[in-house]
Structure 1
Amino acid sequence: MRIFVWHFCRNNLPVRYKLRDKGVILPITCPMCNTDVEHLLHVFFDCCFAQSCWQHVGLNYDMSEVYSAPEWLLNKLQESAQDEILKICTTLHGIWFWRNKKIWGNKTTTGAIAMGNSFLHVKEWKDAKINNSGSEKQQHSDTNYNLQKWTPPEVGMYKVNVDASWFPGAETFSIGMVLRDSAGCFIEGRSLTLQDTEDVLEAESIGVREALSWVMSRTERKVIVETDSKSTADAINGQLEYVTKVGHSIDQCIHFLRLMPDVSVKHIRKQANRVAHGLARLPCMINCFNVFTFPPTHLVEICMLDVSFE
């Protein structure tokens, strides 16, 4: 987001008016409303989509006498409180993100969903920053080492680790899952590739749903499903209100858990989810999945480190 704000303040964002002025042949109208020329003030403030975003976050600015959006933002960065600055930058970044989704993928959404998604990303970033700050203070301690390391479940129980691999603008996203027992033995792994989704939060929630569906089809019943997406785990466990766009996947996860009372979903650190992450990065055909009865060669060392006592 800092890079985006830097480009905004330097008037370097490639809006259509600016590109046309540089000789690029393309439509000059705003891709979100198709009613006016796309320049900074329009796309971020005057466009009906932008106005719905600002209305949803509870910010109302009179832009009638503003002639330079970069200058306006620079003044806000100098004069406003930190909370308001974060709110402004998150809103601007969310508007720009969905403007690009419209241009490159013809994806549209409402202002409420766009802002809910943007502010969830900021919350995850702040949570991760707090966790990382705490880790740095104890980075040489055994306690911190254990927090970052995968731990086997209790005897008689199993763990499924799941992770999603998603990149902005990609047409597909991938999911990796691994099932291990109390000794840390690799029982089975899976990777699958699905059609494009809106963002990483939706991809992570679909990943947990697919992991629970996989558990449902197997004989193991006392299972802990671990994901490194805290927002997804919190939403499934009722500790976070989720946005509409991922609601269907979250509701399906909750339904699976009701059918399997001995199965739970928990959040873990990203460092403890490396095997699932590695599986998610493996190539796979769209709407198909790979099954691994042994860990792939490049993940053998990570699997061994996960069960080591050092």
Structure 2
Amino acid sequence: MNFDGATFAEDGTAGIGVVLRNEEGLIIASLTQRIPLPTSVIEVEAVAARRTLELALELSFDNIILEGDSEILIKILKAGGSSLAHFGNLIADILFLTSHFSKVKFSFVRRQCNGLAHSLARCAFITQQMSVWMDEVLPDLMPVFLADLHSIL
């Protein structure tokens, strides 16, 4: 499961992108959502991680690997403790959501392995509401999906 965030400072919003994949790397679901701009970039990433877990629960996932390109966020989540940071409530939400899965692993990935989630986050700029696709992604993003798939296999 990949997540990413993007900021659109020009209009005070941000976008989140989520990709849920099976063991072979094929898409089970993808999501793009526009949100009010949080106070920091890491908060955008944390909101995206939380939304990824919510979608995974909605789709009855049990064992997950949560992958994102925010090294700081992944380190905080791996530590598993409470955070005194200004976004500590988001960390607490994420850790609470992880308690609903049998197995959770947090993994930092480089941007080139997170391209589809990043592209979905950028697409949120043109959407006014949350969009979810089952077993697919926006047709315009198919080349990005294929590049991502090649990088993880």
Is TM > 0.5 for Structure 1 vs Structure 2?
A: yes
TM-score calculated relative to the size of structure 2: 0.87
Task: Quote the residue 1:284 is aligned against.
Answer: 127
Residue-pair matches, total:
149
Unaligned runs of 5+ in 2: none
Which has the bigger relative contact order, CA under 8 A and spacing at least 6? 2
Task: Quote the residue 2:62 is aligned against.
Answer: 221
Unaligned runs of 5+ in 1: 1-159
Per the TM alignment, residue 210 of structure 1 is displaced from its structure 2 partner at its CA by 1.0
User: 2:15, 2:121 within 8 Å by CA — same for their partners in 1?
Assistant: yes
User: Against the structure 1 CA distance between its residues 239 and 252, is the aligned structure 2 distance closer, same or farther, given a 3 Å change threshold?
Assistant: closer
User: 1:224, 1:265 within 8 Å by CA — same for their partners in 2?
Assistant: yes
Q: Does 1:195 align with 2:41?
A: no
User: Aligned with 2:87: secondary structure?
Assistant: helix
In 2, the alpha carbon distance for the partners of 1:169 and 1:251 equals 30
Equivalent of 2:26 in 174, 185, 189: 185
Per the TM alignment, residue 243 of structure 1 is displaced from its structure 2 partner at its CA by 4.3
Q: Please list the CA deviations of residues 167-221 of structure 1 after superposition, one character each: whole Å capped at 9, or x if unmatched.
A: 4464111100011112221211101111121010111111111111111111221
User: Against the structure 1 CA distance between its residues 308 and 261, is the aligned structure 2 distance closer, same or farther, given a 3 Å change threshold?
Assistant: same
In 1, the alpha carbon distance for the partners of 2:57 and 2:102 equals 11
User: 1:231, 1:240 within 8 Å by CA — same for their partners in 2?
Assistant: no
User: Aligned with 1:298: secondary structure?
Assistant: helix
TM-score calculated relative to the size of structure 1: 0.45
How many percent identity over aligned positions? 23
The structure richer in helix per residue is 1
Task: Quote the residue 2:92 is aligned against.
Answer: 251
Q: Does 1:302 align with 2:144?
A: yes
User: Against the structure 1 CA distance between its residues 247 and 223, is the aligned structure 2 distance closer, same or farther, given a 3 Å change threshold?
Assistant: same
User: 2:82, 2:92 within 8 Å by CA — same for their partners in 1?
Assistant: no
User: 1:176, 1:191 within 8 Å by CA — same for their partners in 2?
Assistant: yes
In 1, the alpha carbon distance for the partners of 2:102 and 2:87 equals 23
Q: Which amino acid aligns with 2:26?
A: C
In 1, the alpha carbon distance for the partners of 2:87 and 2:110 equals 22
User: Against the structure 1 CA distance between its residues 198 and 170, is the aligned structure 2 distance closer, same or farther, given a 3 Å change threshold?
Assistant: farther
User: 1:225, 1:265 within 8 Å by CA — same for their partners in 2?
Assistant: yes
